[in-house]
Amino acid sequence: MNESAVYWSRMLTELTLSFHILYATIGVGVPLMIMIAQWTGYKNNDEHYILLARRWARGFVITVAVGVVTGTAIGLQLSLLWPNFMQLAGQVIALPLFMETFAFFFEAIFLGIYLYTWDRFESQKKHMLLLIPVAIGASMSAVFITIVNSFMNAPQGFDMVNGELVNIQPVLAMFNPAMPTKVAHVLATAYMTSAFVLAAIAGFRILRGSTHIYHKKALYLLMKLGLIFSIATALIGDFSGKYLAEYQPEKLAAAEWHFETGKDVPLVLFGKLEDGEVKYAIKIPFALSILAHNNPRAEVIGLDQFAEEDVPPLYIHYLFDIMVSIGMLMMLVSLIYVVAKWRGWQFIYRKWFYWIVVAGGPLSLLGIEVGWWLAEVGRQPWILRGVMRTAEGATTSGQVDLMFLLFCGVYLVLGVGSMVVLVRMFKKNPIEREIAERQAEKGGDIL
């Protein structure tokens, strides 16, 4: 085993996934936002929502392009960096990988038709129907690739005899115990994050002095959607906790710094480990027992039940805390905004509140990042839990460190380039100009 190759393979995979997941999340969530905006515009005969859909679709194309590049890089790296893993697992879980590619082509075909037929349909309803396969294709891409990740956490659908795989059942492998909660969590967080990122853009335009009702309508729509999907994310997170308690108790125990098996277990938030003791933490009585088993008196398995070499890194506790804190904060902010809008409270129009909304965009993306780090690091030391350790699946090449540096350069160019293109795209065609053009086309006032 080449320890250096294992280390750099993990670093490069983490780098690629961390970069890709931002664009992938937007790529999954934004099509649904576009569809909802266009449907709202059609239903209410409101041109502002039609413009929302049209402008979001333009920006969405850029994120799709970068997502394709980084997604391809992940596929290559799976084969190059983890050849032993792919040789073993590829026999079982190749089906969803193929289906993910098909789902992307399905999305891309209808996205192209949608983008180039804006002015070909007299009825917005007929044009809007093209978004249905786009949204389905984007979401199904996430579903199929998440199924692969679920299989890594709960492998099934095969038997291991003398180091060889036999009785392979690809469909059974796809519908593993981790699949329902992981797929649901990925979709809900993608929709939630996309809503808050777009809301942050609307809030920023208002802070920059725009008085167009277009941005205010966008913000209200997106905060409502963000609230809905943040609540869904919290509920699915509760199911995820129960899954971990049943199937991956070592991951739950490491994330919660639960060292000794026992009953009436509190939930530990933040804190610090000193000589094996948890200090300065916030402890919520009975909460971990409730999270794990819906029973405040239930017994929760601790790290004392596992060999030291099978225990995930304990720093995942902080990843869990950050992820949960961001999710709860965004749920609270969106709830306050929606209630205040309904009640007519004026503080939500103050600059300080708009800055909170703007901060919600990058915070949501950070929540996505730490959530995936928690998912992947929390499975260690296994690449295929209970079957293959991470070190056993890695390449033995001594050139991975050089590849890491090269990909850093590639992702820097892609990241900066995509942001420059998006900013220039919308600066050269500001909403004021587009509203004026639409007003001239319609022969009326849409302000």
283: three-class secondary structure by DSSP: strand
pLDDT digits (tens, 9 = 90+) for 153-183: 888 888 877 777 788 888 888 898 989 999 9
Cα separation, 141 vs 97, whole angstroms: 9
Which residues are within 8 A (CB) of 272 and not within 5 positions of it... i.e. 6 or more apart? 278, 279, 280, 281
With 0-12 CB in 10 A as exposed, 13-18 as middle and 19+ as buried, what is 256? Answer: buried
Does residue 107 carry a pLDDT above 80? yes
Cα separation, 61 vs 30, whole angstroms: 10
| Backbone angles phi and psi of 273, in degrees to 5 | -90, 125
Identify the pLDDT of residue 229: 93
pLDDT digits (tens, 9 = 90+) for 289-348: 888 888 888 888 888 888 888 888 888 989 999 999 999 999 999 999 999 888 888 888
In 3D space, the residue among 234, 423, 235 whose CA is nearest the CA of residue 331 turns out to be: 234
pLDDT digits (tens, 9 = 90+) for 183-224: 999 999 999 999 999 999 888 888 887 777 888 888 889 999
Mean of the per-residue pLDDT values for the chain? 84
Cα separation, 336 vs 343, whole angstroms: 10
81: three-class secondary structure by DSSP: helix
pLDDT digits (tens, 9 = 90+) for 15-52: 888 888 888 888 889 999 998 988 888 888 878 888 88
C-beta contacts of 78-81 below 8 A and 24+ residues apart: 80/395, 80/397, 81/9, 81/12, 81/13, 81/394, 81/395, 81/400
**Tokens coding 339:** 């209630």
Q: Which residue has the higher pLDDT, 163 or 92?
A: 92
Cα separation, 246 vs 188, whole angstroms: 22
Question: Can you give the length of the chain in residues?
Answer: 447
| Backbone angles phi and psi of 161, in degrees to 5 | -125, 115
| Backbone angles phi and psi of 262, in degrees to 5 | -175, 180
b/e 114-130 (16+ beta carbons within 10 angstroms → b) = beeeeeeeeebeebbeb
**Containing H/E element for 113?**
helix 83-115
**pLDDT (average), residues 270-275:** 81
Radius of gyration of the chain (CA): 23
CB-side exposure of 79: number of CA atoms within 13 Å? 6
The answer to whether the bond into 381 is cis (omega within 30° of 0) is: yes
C-beta contacts of 158-165 below 8 A and 24+ residues apart: 158/91, 158/92, 160/387, 165/88, 165/91, 165/92
| Backbone angles phi and psi of 272, in degrees to 5 | -150, 140
Asked whether 252 and 244 are in contact (CB, 8 A), the reply is yes
With 0-12 CB in 10 A as exposed, 13-18 as middle and 19+ as buried, what is 1? Answer: exposed
Identify the pLDDT of residue 389: 86
pLDDT confidence of 447, banded at 50, 70, 90? very low
Cα separation, 315 vs 303, whole angstroms: 14
In 3D space, the residue among 97, 91, 96 whose CA is nearest the CA of residue 158 turns out to be: 91
